[in-house]
Amino acid sequence: MYSKVLSGLVQGIDGTLISVETDIHDGLPVMNMVGYLSSCVKEAGERVRTALRNSGFNIPPKRITINLFPADIRKEGTAFDLPIAAGMLASMGVIPTDNIKNILILGELGLDGHVNTVSGVLPIVHSAYSEGVRSCIVPAGNSREAAIIRGMTVIPVTSIGELVDHLSGIQTIEPEYVDVEAMLDTSGDEAEVDFSEVMGHESLKRGVEIAAAGMHNILMTGPAGAGKSMIARRIPTILPRLSLEESIEITKVYSVAGLLDESCHIINRRPFRAPHHTISLHALSGGGHNPRPGEISLAHGGVLFLDELPEFNRNVLEVMRQPLEDGEVSISRLGGIYRFPADFMLVAARNPCPCGQYPDMNRCTCTVRQIRNYNARISKPLLDRIDINVDVRKVDCRQLFGGRTGKNSAEMRESVLRAQRIQSERFSDENIRFNSQMDSSLCSKYVVLDGEAKNFMEDCFADMDMTARGAYRVLKIARTIADLDGDPEVGIKHLREAVFFRNADIQGGV
């Protein structure tokens, strides 16, 4: 008897639907599985047979053929266990074949018939919904994750017995329901940290506000203990709250990475990732035999903080050049090209020298050559992709103990939101959202300079030895500063401030 069950797998962070065909007929008692299977999927045959036997179902001594198609897609993972079991039970006549039509089934089986959770459920369910599927059966541990997709009826199961009882109409399982809006609202404004805790550093806070408003990359250079990490960890508190679409996209990344658990079904806050400088290239960019997202994709929609930037392996840093421009990571494998989103705000920090005390010559023990070699670990092309470069000075004792100064996170966030609303209206007909994403043609369109401003930019280009990319970065920063000030046109005062925060070119990348 023939049956077909709908299942799926993950490619990148997108789901792909896979059909599981099962045919049981007379012949030698053997079980064959075909369809370009990995060793993990091939092992599913033995797991399923044992799980069915231990769940009280007798497999007939007949020839069993299971085909997973399309056959040109390599099948990875353990989520095919449950659909294979459902297909075998339907072909055995235990489950009515009509009751498994147009239903997505995912899950890994234990040898006792228990259904275990799997990674990547959200992208598969999301893809199935876009293909017209409106019902799915998933492990109970993944049910709230799958129920994020509105309009999808999600049936949670914990065992093969529950699956059979539900599909046979013996005992109906109530669909899982989650209040997505309430889950997003739990992000709230009750952040654990706040910019009100930062004493002094008014110039740096202004640079951070500009960076957040236009989603510009920022590099902080200053001695150890000056407050660079403290500032970086407070940047997410001034970024806009996630929309539902953004939250689903970020949650898909974390689902594929296997970082969602029963206490975290949807990512409702902008990510903040701070990998150690010993991280490997593949851990940062993503990869592996079956590619998984790396840190730059886990930071999608949020902040990637790289502390002690020169301590990172240079090859590791260089891998970020393409994602910083394109907003995604492309990983080529024999089975195809995997794409992971990587549209993040890069926040980096570095000491001015190996000992961290320069320019205090009374405490700095580094030679000029050591300082140059230390900062030369960061390539000029990578520095060119960092819009804002701010010098961080040690806070004066009177500022440190003088009480709160400047804006708090709520006030800075309001300014950022106001500037981003302006950008949203400006780019409503473009395929971008922020000033930092403008290319040269959009810069020419939306950053129109008068004669005085043009002369100023020409002088800066010559005196600072700017690259073309660096010059356009200045224009983008100036456009963001004008948005923060509520000015429709970019003037020379905005350009002056932009050049002040774009001092990497003045320093020659040192």
Secondary structure string (H, E, C) spanning 369-405? HHHHHHHCCCCHHHHHCCCEEEECCCCCHHHHCCCCC
pLDDT confidence of 397, banded at 50, 70, 90? Answer: low
Residue type at 436 in one-letter notation: S
**Residue range 257-267, pLDDT digits in tens:** 988 876 778 89
- In which residue are the tokens 């790289």 written? 306
Q: Taking the model in full, what pTM does it have?
A: 0.86
**Residue range 334-382, pLDDT digits in tens:** 767 888 999 999 999 999 888 887 877 788 888 889 988 988 889 888 8
Q: Is the pLDDT of residue 252 over 60?
A: yes
Tokens of 167: 């599909």
Q: Is the pLDDT of residue 96 over 90?
A: yes
- Exposed (0-12), middle (13-18) or buried (19+): which is 252, by Cβ within 10 Å? buried
Tokens of 382: 């990578």
pLDDT confidence of 41, banded at 50, 70, 90? Answer: very high
Q: Is the pLDDT of residue 504 over 80?
A: no
Model pLDDT, residue 398: 64
**Residue range 103-150, pLDDT digits in tens:** 999 999 999 999 999 999 999 999 999 999 999 999 999 999 999 999
Model pLDDT, residue 156: 97
Q: Is the pLDDT of residue 325 over 70?
A: yes
Lowest mean pLDDT among 21-25, 230-234, 457-461: 457-461
The fraction of the chain above a pLDDT of 90, given in percent, is 60
Measured between alpha carbons, how far is 189 from 24 in angstroms, rounded to an integer?
58
Q: Is the pLDDT of residue 508 over 50?
A: no
Measured between alpha carbons, how far is 211 from 239 in angstroms, rounded to an integer?
10
Measured between alpha carbons, how far is 295 from 304 in angstroms, rounded to an integer?
8
Measured between alpha carbons, how far is 134 from 115 in angstroms, rounded to an integer?
21
Q: Are 298 and 278 in contact (CB under 8 A)?
A: no
Measured between alpha carbons, how far is 30 from 435 in angstroms, rounded to an integer?
62
Model pLDDT, residue 404: 60
pLDDT confidence of 506, banded at 50, 70, 90? Answer: very low
Query: Is 291 strand, coil or helix?
Result: coil
Q: 127 — phi, psi (to 5°)? A: -65, -40
Tokens of 24: 């049981």
Phi-psi region of 151 (alpha: psi -120 to 50; beta: other; left: phi over 0): left
CB-CB neighbours of 98 under 10 Å = 8
**Residue range 463-494, pLDDT digits in tens:** 877 778 888 889 999 999 999 999 999 999 99
Task: Report the candidate in 417, 38, 399, 360 with the shortest Cα–Cα distance to residue 214.
Answer: 417
Task: Report the candidate in 66, 71, 68, 112 with the shortest Cα–Cα distance to residue 92.
Answer: 66
Q: Is the pLDDT of residue 192 over 70?
A: yes
Q: Is the pLDDT of residue 403 over 70?
A: no
DSSP string, 29-56: S-EEEESSB-HHHHTHHHHHHHHHHHTT
What fold is seen in the domain 195-433?
A: Rossmann fold (3.40.50)
Model pLDDT, residue 402: 61
Model pLDDT, residue 261: 73
Q: 69 — phi, psi (to 5°)? A: -130, 155
Q: Is the pLDDT of residue 509 over 60?
A: no
Summary count for the chain: helices (H), strands (E): 22, 18
Helix, strand, coil percentages in the chain from 3-state DSSP, rounded to 5:
40, 20, 40
Q: Are 387 and 477 in contact (CB under 8 A)?
A: yes
Task: Report the candidate in 307, 318, 254 with the shortest Cα–Cα distance to residue 285.
Answer: 318
Q: Is the pLDDT of residue 32 over 60?
A: yes
Q: 271 — phi, psi (to 5°)? A: -65, 150
Task: Report the candidate in 302, 266, 238 with the shortest Cα–Cα distance to residue 122.
Answer: 266
Half-sphere exposure of 160 (CA within 13 A, CB side): 29
Write out the E strands in 187-233.
Answer: 218-221
CB-CB neighbours of 301 under 10 Å = 23
Lowest mean pLDDT among 7-21, 251-265, 292-306: 251-265
Q: Is the pLDDT of residue 440 over 70?
A: yes
Task: Report the candidate in 422, 421, 413, 416 with the shortest Cα–Cα distance to residue 490.
Answer: 422
The domain 2-178 is placed in CATH, from the list 3.40.50.300, 3.40.50.620, 3.40.50.360, 3.30.230.10, at: 3.30.230.10
Query: What's the mean per-residue pLDDT of the chain?
Result: 89
DSSP string, 125-142: HHHHHHTT--EEEEEGGG
- How is the chain split into domains, by residue range? 2-178, 195-433
